[in-house]
Structure 1
Amino acid sequence: MSEWRQRAKDIFFGPKEPGITDERKRSFNFFILEACTGTISYTMTTGVFMTGLALYLGASDYLAGILASVQMLMNSVQIPAAFVVERVKHKKRYLSITYFMFRVMLSSSILIPLILPKSLWVPAFVTLNVLGFLSNSLGQPGFNDWMFDLVPLSIRGVFAARREARCQLLSVIFSLTMGVVVDALGQGYGAFAVPYSIAICVGLVNFWCIRQIETPPKEAENFQPPKVPFRKRLMGNRPVLQFSAIWILWNFGYMMAFSYFSVFMISSLGLSYSFMTVQNTVQMLSLVIAIRFWGRYADRAGWPKCLRMACLVIIAAFVARAFVVPSVSFLLIPIAILTGIGMGGTNIGPLNMVSYLGRSEERSFLIGLQAGVSGLSGFLGSLVGGGLNEAFRGVQVGPFTGLHITFLASGAVMAAAWIVFSFWARSKGVRALGAPGRVMEG
């Protein structure tokens, strides 16, 4: 029995790599479990479920789209949050509390109709989502730095792919099940109470998983952040600045369209939650299958090549959505496959790029900087996307609407970012940038 149990653990968590201690391997396993429980909680309180609850509470299509991008805006807080987490003495306690508050804030949104008058439903929903994503941003730079400190560079690609694949697979299972449940229960309050209640329970397990991971090395060593002026820290990490500048443009274009995918499927195409869940399931399964390739490819060829290929796939998928109308809504399935394949690379690429390009003693600061500026640009992109949707609200050519124009504009912006990134990566030497055994020169 123990042999089968060990085999099952090796399949799910991966085998123990040479040179890794038992305690470190246990931490790797809990990093994976944290991602799984966190992603389940996140899936139950965002995407079509968040959009559906927002519309039920009385939010407009425009506000529902903006809410989908609140996380991007709150990511801008990661810049000052990085300075905070560098100076927090008890990092593990701080990070576990901020992540716990994130889960609680989002999942407790389901209680709004039970305790507040109807006039406050939408303001309260917006407030809880903003505070929840704010809590997440306060902890994210430190949490990612914690993980990078424990996971050796030589296996980061494989580990990141394994972690992402496991959590996304569970997300698919829960999302598919809940989509059917929400449809079966009539898309009313009782229907949305099911996924949100699950999110509350899984959030508690997520907190426990974080507490099981070994103490961050910087906390154990009583690490003191470098006392260097902000500008000097920036200038000392120019490759990270250059990459972040390119990713600003990418996120701007990405969120122009992504923020309105759920609104597009619900309001424009009139799709059922079951179909949307199937579409999301296909997308996530594609991600799970493809991500192993991306991780191994990045470890072998470097992160720039990985990101260039992944971004190209996503651009094709986004532009293809501009040609989907109610009569051919089935095309969302092959488009979802393309999107999932591309997301497999972009989900694990940016953080690993920053981790490799930057100095380890300043990793929290650099992760926060990259996420912050990208998040702010993503939020601005969603505002521009919303503005385009409003401007072209009355425009209709056959079955095509203003949302289709927004998707085309989004693809054009992302294509521009891809071209700039390709030239930049070549100028730095693709194999020297993120590939094992090579040193990147600033």
Structure 2
Amino acid sequence: MRYSLDIIKKNERFSIWNGAASTISQSFIMSFIPLFAIQVIGASNFQVGLISSMPSFMTLLAMIPGAIWVSRLELKKTFTAYSIFAARFGLLLISLIPFIPYTNQAWILVAVIALLNFPNAIATLSWQAFIGDLIPENRRGKFFSERNQILTIVGMIATFATGITLNEFSKSSASPYQWIFLIGFLFGILEVYYLMKHKEVTSSNKKEKTFSKKALSQIYKHKPYFYFLICATLFNFGWQMAWPLFSIYQINDAHATAFWISIFTVANQLSQIASYKWWGRFADRYGNTIMLFIASIGIGTAPFLTILSTNMYYLTAVNLWTGVFVAGTVTLLFNQLLSVSPETNRTTLLANYNFLVALMGCIAPQIGVLLLDLYDVKFAMTISTIIRWAGAFSFLFVFYKENQKKKAIQKPSITL
């Protein structure tokens, strides 16, 4: 074992503190950027769609150079820290947008969101490889379920407090959002601080293969990873397709205020908190793949259930329901990705996965907004549900094939 149990536990503790600061910083973007874009600077549906898809486009651009850089690093901590700081610096830039004398500030917001996501994509890839080295496989299920549970509580408190605060101001007032984004930047600095507290040592194992075309061509021969990649890509297309649609529906159709947006988020996070350990426990018992099927089926109900009513209490209940499956999907996708990615080629495998998910994130939100403009939000949300369920059943198919293979291996041979 590369790390002693004492060092592993210290790294886990610092990872939770690092994740808590990251959650607070990023929750301001995820929960309130759409509201800021629509109500403060007057973004159109197309621009809101770009805010959802441009980060993924920048991830596409970042993955290849990011994978090359990360795969050449023996120690990843400092590189990850610099990448995170560059990404969180974007929050400071966003806070300055209302001061810019430009007729359409929404385009500046789209540009800043895109730019900050280049270092953010690299930071995500580097952190995944970094934490995959630090936390041994036999501790990942329990640790990540507990970590996600704590971070969700932190995010819930931050989001709810922010929503209540914003509700005290005019919907079109820019100053409260500016303060929020500035505070998010400060928590980004704290995130970097706790990352640097981790203990990292050079691996004594076989050096990881450098990212290259040859290494990339080999990854599809690793069947568990290849099957997971197909399923996850299909599911992510349906999942990300509806992301801008939820914001547009809640704000434009249901006329939700900042207070209600925070209530939706808190309801979703409460059920996540209650279910994280459940998903980890059942994944250990039955396997990641079958539990991914169940989680993604539940995620698939979210778009369809949302469009049934604009009642705020109903939408809160829908978020409470779907949060259970968000917890499972987030935890199981990451755990399964690490599980099917051998250490000797992990950065290449992670980069390839992030690249394809980002490609879906680039295309899918624009498809969703296009269907919204051509038809209506109900049609677009229904298509999202269908694609999510198609992804879910692909996980079930892989589970069935895995079981068949195991039975074939375990079947005793008969000799005459």
Give TM-score scaled by structure 2 length: 0.91
Is 1:85–2:70 an aligned residue pair?
Answer: yes
Give the SS at the match of 1:429: helix
Aligned position for 2:397: 423
The 1-side partners of 2:329 and 2:252 are apart by 28
Is 1:384–2:399 an aligned residue pair?
Answer: no
**Aligned residues of 1:303 and 1:353 also touching (Cα < 8 A):** yes
AA of the residue aligned to 1:264: Y
**Aligned residues of 1:91 and 1:216 also touching (Cα < 8 A):** no
Aligned position for 1:305: 290
Aligned position for 1:40: 24
Q: How does 1:75-154 map onto structure 2 within 5 Å? A: 75-76=59-60, 77-88=62-73, 90-114=75-99, 116-119=100-103, 121-154=105-138
**Structure-2 change in CA distance of 1:100 and 1:214 (3 Å):** same
Aligned position for 2:414: none
**Aligned residues of 1:279 and 1:332 also touching (Cα < 8 A):** yes
Q: Choose from 67, 70, 84 the match for 2:51.
A: 67
| Shift in Å, 1:194 | 2.9
The 2-side partners of 1:206 and 1:351 are apart by 21
**Which blocks of at least 5 consecutive residues in structure 2 are unaligned?**
411-416
Aligned position for 1:296: 281
List per-residue Cα deviations over 1:390-426 (Å, max 9, x = no partner).
112xxxxxxxxx1111111100111111122211221
Give the SS at the match of 1:186: coil
The 2-side partners of 1:250 and 1:224 are apart by 29
How many residues are matched?
402
Is 1:334–2:317 an aligned residue pair?
Answer: yes
AA of the residue aligned to 1:127: A
Aligned position for 2:342: 359
The 2-side partners of 1:286 and 1:178 are apart by 20
Percent of aligned positions that are identical: 21
**Aligned residues of 1:40 and 1:174 also touching (Cα < 8 A):** yes
Q: How does 1:8-407 map onto structure 2 within 5 Å? A: 21-47=5-31, 49-55=32-38, 56-76=40-60, 77-88=62-73, 90-114=75-99, 116-119=100-103, 121-187=105-171, 188-215=173-200, 217-218=202-203, 223-225=207-209, 229-324=214-309, 326=310, 328-392=311-375, 402-407=376-381
Aligned position for 1:13: none
**Structure-2 change in CA distance of 1:93 and 1:321 (3 Å):** same
Give the SS at the match of 1:348: helix
The 1-side partners of 2:220 and 2:166 are apart by 51
The 2-side partners of 1:353 and 1:92 are apart by 23
**Structure-2 change in CA distance of 1:222 and 1:61 (3 Å):** same
Aligned position for 1:14: none
**Structure-2 change in CA distance of 1:342 and 1:217 (3 Å):** farther
AA of the residue aligned to 1:181: T
The 2-side partners of 1:79 and 1:429 are apart by 35
AA of the residue aligned to 1:410: S
**Structure-2 change in CA distance of 1:191 and 1:169 (3 Å):** same
Is 1:408–2:392 an aligned residue pair?
Answer: no
**Structure-2 change in CA distance of 1:343 and 1:224 (3 Å):** closer
AA of the residue aligned to 1:416: A
**Aligned residues of 1:302 and 1:430 also touching (Cα < 8 A):** no
AA of the residue aligned to 1:362: N
| Shift in Å, 1:130 | 0.8
**Aligned residues of 2:250 and 2:256 also touching (Cα < 8 A):** yes
**Aligned residues of 1:358 and 1:366 also touching (Cα < 8 A):** yes
| Shift in Å, 1:330 | 2.1
The 2-side partners of 1:251 and 1:124 are apart by 28
**Aligned residues of 1:92 and 1:216 also touching (Cα < 8 A):** no
The 1-side partners of 2:75 and 2:292 are apart by 35
**Structure-2 change in CA distance of 1:109 and 1:236 (3 Å):** same
**Structure-2 change in CA distance of 1:227 and 1:383 (3 Å):** closer
AA of the residue aligned to 2:393: I
The 1-side partners of 2:286 and 2:56 are apart by 30
**Structure-2 change in CA distance of 1:432 and 1:42 (3 Å):** farther
